[in-house]
Amino acid sequence: MQKEKIRNSILLLLTAIIWGTAFVAQSVGMDYVGPFTFNSARFLIGGMVLVPLIIYRSRKNPILYNRNGEEKQKNRKTVWIGGICCGMALCAGSLFQQMGIRHTTVGKAGFITTLYIIIVPLVELLFGKKIAKKIWIGAILAIIGLYLLCINENFSIGKGDVLVLVCAILFAIHILVIDYFAPKTDGVCLSAIQFFVSGIISLVGALLFENPNFLAMTKAIYPILYAGVMSCGVAYTLQVIGQKNMNPTVASMILSLESVISVLAGWIILGQALSVKEMIGCIIVFMAVILVQLPEKKNK
């Protein structure tokens, strides 16, 4: 059991590394293609990468995929409705993230995006759910961290930072939609459908608002492949395997390291160094993210 936990922790760390470095791929890709074009390519690739996994799982566990009668039809309907809803939310969040990365650094984008962990319980407040004290403390810390990270000497916030903050809100909604549908259907099928839905919507947007061409796509092929194959397909699979029999709190803390890795990747690969004030902001935001993931003390 201990060996399995260590292995799973390593898999989750690899997931965080892939997601963190994917911010670099997204940033580089935007030098050649628009946000709709980039997202359409990477999500369609991500969906195709998951198809072999679905086939493998269907052969390994046919009961899961070959239900009969009304139950099978109900499950199909749920997974399609869930996939479409998740895909729409994912498409919106990713679009704002791609547009934001064009106007801000990879490191700042990584930390601001991670705020979805704090935004999720705050959104749940609108539906009458009680919010723990640590969430409020985390939210206050996050605001302080965001101020240091984003507000410049003119007391204004950059366009890219605003766009990525909107992205974090949309990703929080995406997580809540997944939270609703995931227990009702197979997670891998749900994820594949959401990738295809998001990719198709983005493709329509690319054809309407951008001018995708073959030459630009070839120049952006490596960032697109990394974001599609590694970030969408491989990282998701590693997350599914790594979270098995893992404490959800420990798993989420390891995965949240993607924000730290995005800063390191942006600095090492793109030379996007942060100022001392921005680094302090990153640290405070990371403290807030870790705080809200700590387990509650049980009353005796």
Strand partners, 157: 151
Q: Report the phi/psi class of residue 58: left, alpha or beta, with left for phi > 0 and alpha for psi in -120 to 50.
A: alpha
Q: Report the phi/psi class of residue 271: left, alpha or beta, with left for phi > 0 and alpha for psi in -120 to 50.
A: left
- Nearest of 178, 16, 199 to residue 81 by alpha carbon: 178
Q: For 56-69, how does the pLDDT look when each residue is reduced to its tens digit (9 = 90+)?
A: 877 776 655 555 54
Give the pLDDT of residue 300. 47
In one letter, which amino acid is 227? A
Give the pLDDT of residue 164. 93
User: Are residues 45 and 225 in contact, defined by beta-carbon separation less than 8 angstroms?
Assistant: yes
Give the pLDDT of residue 155. 60
Give the pLDDT of residue 298. 58
Give the pLDDT of residue 35. 94
Q: Which two tokens stand for residue 93?
A: 């969040």
Q: Which helix (H) or strand (E) segment is 166 a member of?
A: helix 159-181
Convert 25-59 to b/e letters by CB count within 10 Å (16 or more is b).
bbbbbbebbbbbbbbbbbbbbbbbbbeebeeebbe
Q: For 27-62, how does the pLDDT look when each residue is reduced to its tens digit (9 = 90+)?
A: 999 999 999 999 999 999 999 999 988 888 777 766
Give the pLDDT of residue 196. 96
Q: Report the phi/psi class of residue 246: left, alpha or beta, with left for phi > 0 and alpha for psi in -120 to 50.
A: beta
Chain position carrying tokens 């890219």: 160
Give the pLDDT of residue 72. 59
Number of Cβ within a 10 Å radius of residue 232: 29
What is the chain's length? 300
Give the pLDDT of residue 43. 95
Q: Which two tokens stand for residue 258?
A: 């993607």
pLDDT per residue rounded down to tens, the chain (300 residues): 677 778 888 888 999 899 889 999 999 999 999 999 999 999 999 999 999 888 887 777 665 555 554 555 667 888 899 999 999 999 999 999 999 998 888 988 988 988 888 888 888 888 777 878 888 888 888 889 888 887 766 666 889 999 999 999 999 898 888 888 878 888 788 889 999 999 999 999 999 999 888 898 999 999 999 999 998 888 877 887 787 777 666 777 788 888 888 888 898 898 988 888 888 988 998 888 888 777 766 554
Give the pLDDT of residue 297. 64
Give the pLDDT of residue 250. 72
User: Are residues 191 and 50 in contact, defined by beta-carbon separation less than 8 angstroms?
Assistant: yes
